[in-house]
Amino acid sequence: MSKISLARTAGQMGVFVAFFALWELAVDVLHVKAVILPPPSLIFQSMLKHWLYLLQNSWPTLIAVAGGFAIAAALGFTIAVGIAYSRWVSELTYPFLIAAQVIPKVALAPLFIIWFGFGLAPKVVIAALIAFFPIVINTARGLISVEPELIQYMKSLGASWSEIFFKISLPWALPYIFASFRISITLAVVGAVVGEFVASDSGLGYVISYANVSLDTDVMFAGIFVLSLLGMLLFLAVVLLERIFISWQTAAEAPPETM
Amino acid sequence: MALVPHIRIEDLSLQYRTKGGSVSALDTVSADIPPRSFVSVVGPSGCGKTTLLKVLSGVLKATSGRVLLDDKPIEQANLSGQVGYVFQRPLLLPWRSALQNVLLTGEVARKHIRPPIREAEARQWLALTGLSGFEDRLPHELSGGMQQRVSLCRALAFRPAILLMDEPFAALDEITREVMQEELLRLWSVTDSTVIFITHSISEAVLLSERVIVMTARPGRVDEIIDIPFGRPRDEQLRGQAEFSGLVQHIRGKLHRPKVAAGAAP
């Protein structure tokens, strides 16, 4: 088992190495200018050279992503509970949620800058807004998908609402919730960076857009790489939490499909 | 343990409202279920067996007629924590071990009993069904028959007065099914519960029950109520007896009768 997973990890790393090697080679053979597409070696050098600058600017992005995600999770969960247990809430909010989802929230970024200023707030808001929808939909779906016979059984035993919720519905919905967390954490990264693109003086989005303006393509790529790394680490953190909270799921069945 | 009530079903009718009007699921069903008895309901699909079970568990309300528990209408009888269920599917909680699944009902219905005692009892139930050593397994690590055993233990663990079983063995293979039937009889013999058992299988009904309620479909009507004369304990040997086959044949004849004749029943 561990041998297989070790081989798999090695294989996955190999794909990355091969990708960068091919990139390096292509840039060299085709004489692509570093301004257009710097070779990975140059990008890694740039990452080393500017490590403090990149690290310092990772922090605000991380805060915006984590804050936005946390708000999306808390708000999304609450509304999902309302949708799952109250037809009234469900019927009132569903069309609005769909409408809100159809709006490209990236387009709202400049507006939020006007409303919330240049600091952290607008980035958190955009991140939260983008990350919110999958959490609501999946959580509600998970809560609704509980076997009605089980709920009836619990009621016949005299179980209170909170007993049914915490003993049955919530654990039942956890795989759905975590499936949405996986999606939403990456969406939150997008949201935060978009906010930083529009107006900011710090963060990885700012690093990328500033390097872009000054044609420091290698720094731009360094920023993108660090951003990818940040996104991957956050994604892994969610997967790790998932493993801890729903260890029973991994062997039992594949995670539920998500939107 | 809760007192096991005498259940009387009197002229029970139930109509479902549909777009086109109403569909009659149960039509003037009457039956008498003494305490501690094992009563089976057999009948074709759509004869209202599950509907009857839902009325008995208080989930559905009858359109007319009534159900009396010790002369008290079912609406007034406090059934909370008195009824155990076993469904066709085990419906276990996948995140709980076998033991924890059995404990679930007690956690809700027997809060007055100290947890260590409930756990000891749950272990006993599992041992009675041959699941010692499997207490910590998750449901997906158990076979279908084992899962259904856990489900049965879960239903019995809080000592319900009434145990409602809705085709509990229908999804099991023939061999597991026969083993489970004997096990059910063994478990039931150490409880005081009344069992109301729904099944498609005529021989299963005859083997297990004191009384078999034969129903006809659309609308669900009681065709005949047959008392099964065999003593207890019973086992598989019974299947070989002529009287057993005679009863099975008799019921089969009832169920296979053409619909026109069934319509003429009183």
pLDDT digits (tens, 9 = 90+) for B37-93: 999 999 887 778 888 888 888 778 888 888 888 888 888 777 778 888 898 899 999
Write down the ipTM of this complex: 0.81
Query: If contacts are CB pairs under 8 Å, which of residues 136-175 in chain A contact chain B?
Result: 147, 149-150, 152-154, 156-159, 163, 167-168, 171-172, 174
| Total number of domains constituting chain B | 1
- Chain B residues inside the 8 Å CB shell of A172: 93
Distance from CA of A169 to the nearest CA of B (A): 10
Classify residue A131 as exposed, middle or buried by CB count within 10 Å of its CB (0-12, 13-18, 19+): buried
Question: pLDDT tens, B110-126?
Answer: 888 899 999 999 999 99
The single-letter code of the amino acid at B198 is I
Q: Is B8 contained in some domain?
A: no
Give CA angle at B41 (B36, B43), nearest 5°.
175
Taking the Cβ of residue B83 and every Cβ of chain A, the question of whether any pair is shorter than 8 Å is answered with yes
Instruction: Decide if pLDDT at B264 tops 50.
Output: no
d(CA B246, CA B232) in angstroms, rounded, equals 19
Which CATH number among 3.40.50.2300, 3.90.320.10, 3.40.50.970, 1.10.3720.10 corresponds to the domain A38-252?
A: 1.10.3720.10
The distance from CA A17 to its chain's CA centroid, rounded to whole angstroms, is 25
**Cα-based angle B174, B180, B181 (whole degrees, multiple of 5):** 90
Q: Does B93 touch chain A (CB under 8 A)?
A: yes
Task: Give CA angle at B210 (B257, B218), nearest 5°.
Answer: 30
- For A248, the closest of B87, B95, B105 (CB atoms) is B95
Amino acid at B2: A
The answer to whether A105 and A130 are in contact (CB under 8 A) is: yes
Test A157 with B57 for CB contact under 8 angstroms: no
Q: Can you tell me the distance from the alpha carbon of B74 to that of A70, in angstroms, rounded to the nearest whole number?
A: 48
pLDDT at B43: 85
Mapped onto helix, strand or coil, the DSSP state of residue B224 is strand
Q: pLDDT exceeding 90 applies to what percent of chain A?
A: 62
Tell if the CB–CB gap between A157 and B138 is shorter than 8 Å.
Answer: no
Res B2: pLDDT = 54
Centroid of chain to Cα B170: 12
Residues A54 and A224 sit within 8 Å (Cβ to Cβ): no
Question: Which B positions 130-169 lie with beta carbon below 8 A of chain A?
Answer: 138-141, 158
In whole angstroms, what separates CA B210 from the centre of its chain?
13
Give the best residue of B78, B86, B108 to mutate against chain A (max A CB count within 10 A).
B108
A156 vs B79, B87, B140: nearest CB:
B79
Q: Indicate which of A149, A152, A153 best probes the interface with B, i.e. most B CBs within 10 Å of its own CB.
A: A153
* Cβ contact B55:B220 at 8 Å: no
User: B139 in a domain, yes or no?
Assistant: yes
Task: Give, rounded to a whole angstrom, the gap between the first and last alpha carbons of chain A.
Answer: 31
Is residue B47 a contact partner of residue B220, using CB atoms and an 8 Å limit? yes
**Helix H or strand E segment including B76:** none
> How many C-beta neighbours within 10 Å does residue A54 have?
21
Strand B21-33: give its sheet, edge to edge: B21-33, B7-18, B64-69, B72-73
Pairing of strands B38-42, B64-69: unpaired
In this prediction, residue B219 carries a pLDDT of 79
Indicate whether B211 belongs to any domain.
Answer: no
Q: What is the DSSP string of A143-198?
A: HHTS-HHHHHHHHHTT--HHHHIIIIIHHHHHHHHHHHHHHHHHHHHHHHHHHHHH
Q: Write the CB contacts of B15 (distance below 8 Å, at least 6 apart in sequence).
A: B22, B23, B24, B25, B63
- Tell me which residue range forms the domain holding B93: 87-159
Which of B83, B91, B93 is opposite residue A156, by nearest beta carbon?
B83
Q: Which residue of chain A has the CA closest to B164? A: A153
Contact B95/A150, CB-based, under 8 Å?
no
Q: Return d(Cα B203, Cα B181) in angstroms, integer.
A: 11
- pLDDT for A1 equals 52
Nearest by CB to A149, which of B87, B104, B140?
A: B87
Q: How far is B108 from chain A (nearest CA, A)?
A: 6
**Contact call for B95 and A249, based on CB within 8 A:** yes
pLDDT digits (tens, 9 = 90+) for A109-155: 888 888 988 888 999 999 999 999 999 999 999 999 999 989 988 88
Would you put residue B219 in left (φ > 0), alpha (ψ -120 to 50) or beta? beta
HEC string of A64-79 equals: HHHHHHHHHHHHHHHH
> Per the CB < 8 Å rule, is B107 touching A252?
no
Beta strand pairing status for B162-166 and B83-86? parallel
Q: Is residue B149 part of a domain?
A: yes
Whether residue B1 is predicted with pLDDT greater than 50 in this model: the reply is no
pTM score of the predicted model: 0.83
Q: Which residue of B has its CA nearest to A147?
A: B91
- Using alpha carbons only, give the angle B59, B63, B69 rounded to the nearest 5 degrees: 55
Enumerate residue ranges in chain A where pLDDT < 50.
252, 257-259
Of the partner residues A153, A168, A249, the one whose CB lies closest to the CB of residue B85: A153
- Cβ-defined contact of B105 to A249 (cutoff 8 Å): no
Partner-chain contact B81 A157, CB within 8 Å: yes
Domain boundaries, chain A: 1-31, 38-252
d(CA B161, CA B70): 12
- Percent of chain B scored above 90 by pLDDT? 26
Nearest CA in chain A to B160: A157
